[in-house]
Amino acid sequence: MGSALASREAPTLSDLRIEPAGPEHEEGLSALFERNDSPCFCRWWHFEGDKNAWEDRCANAPAESRRELSGRLAGHSDEARGLVALGDGQLVGWMKLSPAGVMQKLYAQRLYRGLPCFEGERSGVFTIGCFLVDEAWRRRGVARALVDAAVEIAPRWGARALEAFPRRGDALSAQEMWTGPAEALTDAGFREVFDFKPYPVLRRELTPVASSRESG
């Protein structure tokens, strides 16, 4: 199923608005996943089964993941924290931005488990978990706009640092960059704190302000 925007005139970043995700975005966010044939509904990092069970759910029960996402948004859960990009009358981009404490599945992966860059105080560390950009808006700077907004908005949630796990390489597809474009992150001030070619760990220090779920 192709994007409903694909046949329209190419959109521009001047039409884009970035907001913290909330219950009011549930319908648009779910539609973004459906339009772009992405049955995960951003639930992989919170799914307790193994990879085979996850693939079965994506193939045969994506509605279950959609219900979970909807419920987490409605309940203001940290599992559904993130930013959305709005443009051309639709929700066209998503970036998961959750406290590291609810992203333990990511940190438990073999590549990252026990790394020294994750030692010390972890409160106030937020994780960029994934991106999804509508097909017609890809390679137009939407992910970059989401990253830049995260640097501004996350401190209002009490964040003192952001961590990201992009894939690095030449001529990567949009699907291969689902954890973020490395160049957009480094341009936003992220620095490499551990190097796994092609899977670096990047970190951006922030200056926290008063925490509020609804701020931003």
Inside any domain, residue 68: yes
Inside any domain, residue 101: yes
- Report the predicted TM-score, pTM, of the whole model to 2 decimal places: 0.89
pLDDT of 177: 85
Inside any domain, residue 74: yes
Inside any domain, residue 30: yes
Rounded distance, CA 148 to CA 72, Å? 25
Question: What is the CATH number for 99?
Answer: 3.40.630.30
Inside any domain, residue 6: no
pLDDT of 108: 96
Inside any domain, residue 3: no
Domain of 127, in residue numbers: 17-205
pLDDT of 207: 87
At 155-199, the pLDDT tens digits run 999 999 999 999 987 777 877 889 999 999 999 999 999 998 889
Inside any domain, residue 42: yes
62-84 residues labelled b (16+ CB within 10 A) or e (exposed):
beebbebbbebbeeebbbbbbbb
In 3D, which of 129, 137, 214 has the Cα closest to residue 180? 129
**Count of domains in the chain?**
1
Inside any domain, residue 212: no
